[in-house]
């Protein structure tokens, strides 16, 4: 890639999935209008969902999914050993995601509930950073392709990337979405990190916090204003726990 007369090498990337729905990977293969230039900017070494090769000389590993089995732990450690940069892709990889809800239950009971008489080997769900060091986390369920593209451009040009520090409210305003809290819905927008372009509130669904907390969220006031609007602490805590991004914050914020 050549930009401002500087040639940048195409980073060699690989994409791996663990306990997840593979939806974030699918986002990487989405957005047709820029898919060709996106794939031209990088060199795909291993990406099961879109390519047949299984090369091992990757520099950047995008890891999707939570870690919930011992073989996954081993596989992840091997990937970490080979990758110069390890990127956690999506809410499962960043926080444990919806899978993390399993941790609130007895492991054997959860196993029996899902697999019945044929239980599988399983561990409490962990995010990627709880197993190996992570260089960059891209949250979202699924990730926002536009944001991934921005990050990839930064990786290609080798310049630092900064996520928005502010909450989703800003992006609702940018797209003229009427505040769902004003309409009587619960929405985590005021405490959740922006960057998704707020598609859920625009579609009429209050934010569930897949991107995790904004910088320095005022969780205490959020509980208070939600309560003043008729939402119980339990309802708010449950929603904050849904994607795992508020782990440690949700409990502390409950009054």
Partner 1 sequence: MLYKTLRKEAFRSVVEAILAGSEGVGPRRVGTDRRGKPIHQFLPAERFEDMDFSYDTTEFSAKTYFLPFREKLSTYRFTDGDWEQEIRYRAEPRALIGLHACDINALLRLDKVFARDWYPSPYYLSRRRNTFILGIDHDPCEGAFCRALGTDTVTHGFDLFLTDIGESYFAAVGSDRGLALIEGFGAQPITDEDSHRYVAERKRIAALTENGLNLNNLPNLLDIEFKSPIWAKWGAKCLSCGTCAMVCPTCYCHGVYERISMDFREGAKIRQLHSCTLVDFAVVAGGHNFRPTPESRLKYRYYHQHRGFVEQHEEPKCVGCNRCGRACLAGITPVEVIRELQEEVGP
Residues contributing to the site for partner 1 (CB under 8 A): 1-5, 34, 37-38, 40-41, 149-150, 153, 156-157, 165-167, 169-170, 173-174, 176, 178-179, 181-184, 189-191, 214-218, 221-222, 225, 228-229
To the nearest whole angstrom, how small is the minimum distance from the Cβ of residue 53 to partner 1?
Answer: 23
The Cα-based distances of 9 to 71, 135, 162 in angstroms read 34, 20, 22
Residue 211 contacts residue 192 (beta carbons within 8 Å):
yes
Q: Which is nearer to partner 1, 73 or 249 (CB)?
A: 249
The Cα-based distances of 139 to 71, 94, 161, 194 in angstroms read 24, 6, 14, 10
CB hemisphere CA count around 188 (13 angstroms): 27
To the nearest whole angstrom, how small is the minimum distance from the Cβ of residue 167 to partner 1?
Answer: 5
Alpha helices in the chain (DSSP H): 23-28, 35-41, 70-82, 91-95, 107-115, 145-157, 169-174, 199-202, 219-228, 233-241, 250-253
Q: Which is nearer to partner 1, 7 or 71 (CB)?
A: 7
Q: Which is nearer to partner 1, 10 or 82 (CB)?
A: 10
Q: Which is nearer to partner 1, 104 or 216 (CB)?
A: 216
Q: Which is nearer to partner 1, 41 or 66 (CB)?
A: 41
To the nearest whole angstrom, how small is the minimum distance from the Cβ of residue 193 to partner 1?
Answer: 11
């Amino acid at each position: 890639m050549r930009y401002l007369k500087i040639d940048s090498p195409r980073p060699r990337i690989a994409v791996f999935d663990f306990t997840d729905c593979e939806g974030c990977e699918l986002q990487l293969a989405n957005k047709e209008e820029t898919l060709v230039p996106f794939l031209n900017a990088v060199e795909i070494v291993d990406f099961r969902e879109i390519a047949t090769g299984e090369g091992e000389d990757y520099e950047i590993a995008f890891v999707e999914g939570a870690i919930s089995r011992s073989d996954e732990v081993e596989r992840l450690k091997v990937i970490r050993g080979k990758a110069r940069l390890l990127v956690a892709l999506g809410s499962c990889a960043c926080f444990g995601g919806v899978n993390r809800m399993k941790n609130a239950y007895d492991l054997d009971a959860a196993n029996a509930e899902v697999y019945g008489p044929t239980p599988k080997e399983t561990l409490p769900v962990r995010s990627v950073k709880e197993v190996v060091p992570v260089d960059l986390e891209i949250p979202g369920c699924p990730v926002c392709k536009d944001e991934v593209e921005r990050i990839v451009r930064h990786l290609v040009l080798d310049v630092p990337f900064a996520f928005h520090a502010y909450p989703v409210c800003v992006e609702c305003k940018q797209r003229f979405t009427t505040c769902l809290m004003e309409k009587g819905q619960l929405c985590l927008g005021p405490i959740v990190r922006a960057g998704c372009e707020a598609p859920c509130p625009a579609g009429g669904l209050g934010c569930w916090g897949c991107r995790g907390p904004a910088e320095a969220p005022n969780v205490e006031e959020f509980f208070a204003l939600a309560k003043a609007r008729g939402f119980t602490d339990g309802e708010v805590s449950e929603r904050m726990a849904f994607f795992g991004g508020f782990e440690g914050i949700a409990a502390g914020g409950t009054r």
